[in-house]
Structure 1
Amino acid sequence: MILFLRVGGSFVNKKESRAIYGRGKREVDALRAARNSLIDPYNNLRNWDKGDPCTSNWTGVLCYDTVSTDGYWHVQELRLLNMNLSGNLAPQLGQLSQLEILDFMWNELNGNIPKEIGNISPLKLLLLNGNKLSGSLPDELGYLSHLDRLQLDENEISGPIPKSHSNLSKVKHLHFNNSISGQIPSKLSNLSDLRHL
């Protein structure tokens, strides 16, 4: 059964109206900020200018199938792997509050990993390997208590592994393989699910 809702004198599909008019504008703004910080030579993200991320099927954006308890659809996955993207990761990515997968593998991204990514508490997969990211690892990544896999290998990241990464109690895979220096925090040995370091 398709329900319709009268908005401003015209009828629109109820699902579309919730997505377009009801969605937390913050997530849409975060995605647009992410796009604006990227260089997209093949225009892979050209459909990010139109409509809603979920109902308009934005490239690489996957949303939950059901409406959340707050009454909105939310972005579940952002998969932009191997698209020849360069530029930076926008701090606004940290506003994708329901995101479970963030995947920018095998692009040409540079700059630092934004500490704001540590705000995405449901995040399970953070896949940033095969880029040109630099700087140090943010302490805030240690706040990602649901993280299963952290892949940062084949970048230009330097400095020590933060002690906060010992808080990643569900992590199974930590892939660093950069110019990491210093000692591996001893408390990483307490991560009982860790399979690969």
Structure 2
Amino acid sequence: MLRSRLFYICSIIFAFYFAHVQQTSAQITAPWEVDALRAIRGSLSDPLGRLDNWNRGDPCVGNWSRVICYNVTASDGYFHVRQLELLRLNLSGTLAPELGQLSRMKILDFMWNSIGGSIPKEVGNITSLELLLLNGNQLTGSLPEEIGFVPNLNRIQIDQNHISGSIPKSFANLNKTEHFHMNNNSLSGQIPPELSRLPSLVHLLLDNNNLSGYLPPELSQLPKLLIVQLDNNNFSGSSIPSSYGNITTLLKL
């Protein structure tokens, strides 16, 4: 009798445990990332219906369109979003602040759409981000200084928008950034001399803005700089700093 009771109790415990494991494994994508993706979809207009399956199933296991996940679960037991590839989908609307909840994402690509509004400061929470690709939209407002604290950012492409205001000095913290594309906007003010501290910078594209003040001679200290585009701005003076002639790596000025 005692044995059968023990067997019965163990069976119940095992059944509850198995049900719990099944329930946990059923939520494949991190729940907060699922919520974030739904908020992102809700802030966009998708006239071609390319994101229609974002309302069904699980993002990672259900293969939501243009959502690329890591192929193994993390230590928390969930899959996480690695890339959002939403380029050239004829999207409009705005960028949701919930983008910041995708904190393990490496590539954020909204290139060549018609997205307006400002860049949410919460993008600065995506500490794994390597590529920030927002060029060719209708974005307005200023550059969030929080972007300057994304430690792994390799490429910033926000060209061909309507971004205004100054370049945040915090961008001088972007030690891994190689490509800095801000051309064809409405940026104003002085180029921060602090940008000369960027050890990895290869391309600095700031042409066709409303930048003013002087050209920082300190930019000549950038060790890997290949291309600088600064034309069609409102800089004072008519001469290029002589120190620019010392940039031995420079291919285009």
Q: For 1:165, what is the secondary structure of its paired residue?
A: helix
Moved over 4 A (4+): none
Alignment coverage as a number of residue pairs = 187
**Separation (CA, whole Å) in 1 of partners of 2:106 and 2:146:** 16
Match 2:38 to one of 14, 17, 32: 32
Alignment of 1:163-178 (within 5 A): 163-177=169-183, 178=185
* Residue 184 of structure 1: aligned partner: 191
Does 2:119 align with 1:113? yes
SS in 2 for 1:33: helix
What TM-score results when the alignment is normalised by the length of structure 2? 0.71
The percent of aligned pairs where both chains have the same amino acid is 57
CA distance in 2, matches of 1:134, 1:154: 11
Q: Is the 8 A contact 2:28 2:61 kept in 1?
A: no
Q: In the alignment, which residue of structure 2 is the partner of 1:58? A: 64
Query: How far apart are 1:141 and its partner, in Å?
Result: 0.5
Alpha-carbon offset, residue 184 of structure 1: 1.0
RMSD, aligned CA: 1.7
Is structure 2 residue 208 aligned with structure 1 residue 193?
no
Deviation at 1:71, TM superposition (A): 1.4
State the TM-score, normalized to the length of structure 1: 0.91
User: Is 1:91 aligned to 2:88, yes or no?
Assistant: no
Confirm or deny that 1:128 pairs with 2:123: no
Q: Which has the higher helix share?
A: 2
Once the two structures are TM-superposed, the CA of residue 172 in structure 1 deviates from its matched residue by: 0.2
Which segments of 5 or more consecutive residues in structure 1 lack a partner in the other structure? none
Deviations 1:121-178 (A, max 9, x none): 0000000000000000001111111000000000000110000111111000010011
Query: Is the radius of gyration larger for structure 1 or structure 2?
Result: 2
